Structure formats: C-alpha cells, structure tokens
Amino acid sequence: MLGGLLIVWLLAGLLRPLHADETRRRLRVPILMYHYISVPPPDADRYRLDLSVTPDQFAAQLAWLRDNGYSAVSLDDVYLALTEGYPLPPRPVVLTFDDGYADAYQHAFRLLREFGMTGTFFVITGWIDAGTPGYLTWAQAREMAAAGMSIQSHSRTHPNLAGADCDYDCLVYQILGSVETLEAELGTRPRFFCYPGGRYDQAVLELLPQVGIVGAVTTHAGTLHVSDRLLEMPRARVRGTTTLDDFAWMVQTWRE
C-alpha cells in the first residue's frame, strides 16, 4: 500500500508539466562563433584572415563534431534548457555565424546540410535590404530558414549600440527595426540577438526584452551559461588559426 502510494507520488512528480520557474540553472554548452566561411582573398588584412575559417577547415570541424557524438542544437533549445530544465542531447553544441556574409549560404549552409546539422545566423537586416554585395539575400535567408537554419538579429546597420553613439531612438531603430524586418521577411519573429562588435550597455539590455528578445550572445569568451544571464551568453570563437586540436579542446574541455 505504502509502496503503491510512493510510486504514484513519484510518477506525479515526474509527469508534472515543465514550466519556466525561478530555479537558477547553469549549463555548459559551447556556442561556437564563426564569421567568414571562405578562403580569404589574397589582399586580406589580418582581421579578415583571423575572421575567416576555410570551407575545408569548417568541414573538418563538423566531421570532428559528428565523429565525437556532438549534436548541433538551437539557441531556443539552450533557452528552454536554462529556463525550464528542457533536456538537451548528451553533447550539445551551438554553431553561430555573425554578419550574414554571402559565404554563409555558399559554404556554411551547404556544409551544415551535408552533415545534417543546423546553425544560427545573425544577419544585418539593413545590408540585406540594400542588396549589399558580399552579403546574403532575403531569398537565400528564406531558403536557409525553410531548411531548418535559425536566422536571428544582428541589428540593422551594425553600429556601436553602447553609450552615447546610439540614443534611445537609435536603439529602437536598430533593434526593433531589425526584429520587425526579419519577421516580415521570414514569417517568424526572431528571439535572439547578437551585439554588433560585442558592445552593449544597460539601455540595450533593458530594450531587448521589450521587443521580444529572450536571449543574446556576446563576444565574451566561455562555454558556461546561467539562467539569469540569458542576455549575456559567452561564446567560443573559432579563428582562421584555430587548429583541430584547439577546436577539440574548446568544445570538449574548456570550462569557463
């Protein structure tokens, strides 16, 4: 009798619906940060070289992830894990691509599909609107979204959002403007933001939730996330000089 009651009580606990609660959760999930996935042009300066991972390097990294049992998850998955205890696969990793360069479609999307993985692309909506050469088009972004890629906001024109450079009207234009453009172009309202140049301040942190942004990624280095700092998630930067050993260490070992 008592045993039966105990089982009923345990089951009731297990079946209780998950919901956002006050629990402070901490998770280790490497959020990899990429920029260009292409061979840099011959006249590339050191910044471009540093920001460029070649398609061959990227393919080797995806093969390493696959061979070592990693699953590419979305930022929505990480958000739900942190806020509701939603279960993630055993070795989760998020692949993010900043700026929405044309090679995001040409190489990143192509290779992710080849490996059956998904990525999150932070795009600059004003530059797509303007048809800026070297950047994604809306048709490409729609095709990527339809194939399971996540397209999120990296502002309208990539300014420094922190401090006096961008007042309240500028923040609304840059943040809400890009969110509404993405919603109009893709049919889904973005929920994640990436700070241009990694810069933000208190005014930015206060505006994001007001326009429906639930999480944001920074250029702070790290792999650990906490549920009360969803707007300041650190990432693991993959550089042109990152060897496969460096990559394996970042994904597997680095705890910070």
Site string for Zn ion, 110-129 (x = CB under 5 A): --------------------
Helices (H) and strands (E) in the chain, counts: 12, 12
Closest separation between CB of residue 129 and Zn ion, Å? 17
**In this chain, which of 77, 98, 103, 185 binds Zn ion, going by CB under 5 A?**
98
Q: Is 99 in the site for Zn ion (CB under 5 A)?
A: yes
Q: What is the DSSP string of 40-101?
A: PPTT--HHHHHHEE-HHHHHHHHHHHHHTT-EE--HHHHHHHHHH-PPPPSSEEEEEEEETB
Closest separation between CB of residue 39 and Zn ion, Å? 20
CA-nearest of 122, 92, 94, 107 to 52 is 107
Closest separation between CB of residue 77 and Zn ion, Å? 23
Closest separation between CB of residue 116 and Zn ion, Å? 27
Q: Which is nearer to Zn ion, 157 or 252 (CB)?
A: 157
CA-nearest of 93, 110, 124, 94 to 37 is 110
Q: Which stretch binds Zn ion (CB under 5 A): 1-9, 41-49, 91-99, 233-241?
A: 91-99
The answer to whether 166 and 174 are in contact (CB under 8 A) is yes
Q: Which is nearer to Zn ion, 98 or 185 (CB)?
A: 98
Q: Among positive and negative, which fits the CA dihedral 173, 178, 181, 183?
A: negative
Burial class (CB in 10 A: 0-12, 13-18, 19+), 10: exposed
Closest separation between CB of residue 122 and Zn ion, Å? 7
Q: Is 103 in the site for Zn ion (CB under 5 A)?
A: no
Q: Is 156 in the site for Zn ion (CB under 5 A)?
A: no
Closest separation between CB of residue 195 and Zn ion, Å? 8
Q: Which stretch binds Zn ion (CB under 5 A): 38-46, 52-60, 95-103, 215-223?
A: 95-103
Listed in sequence order, the residues at least 6 apart from 57 whose beta carbon sits closer than 8 Å to its beta carbon are 240, 242
Size of the site for Zn ion (CB under 5 A): 2
Could you list the residues that contact Zn ion (CB under 5 A)? 98-99
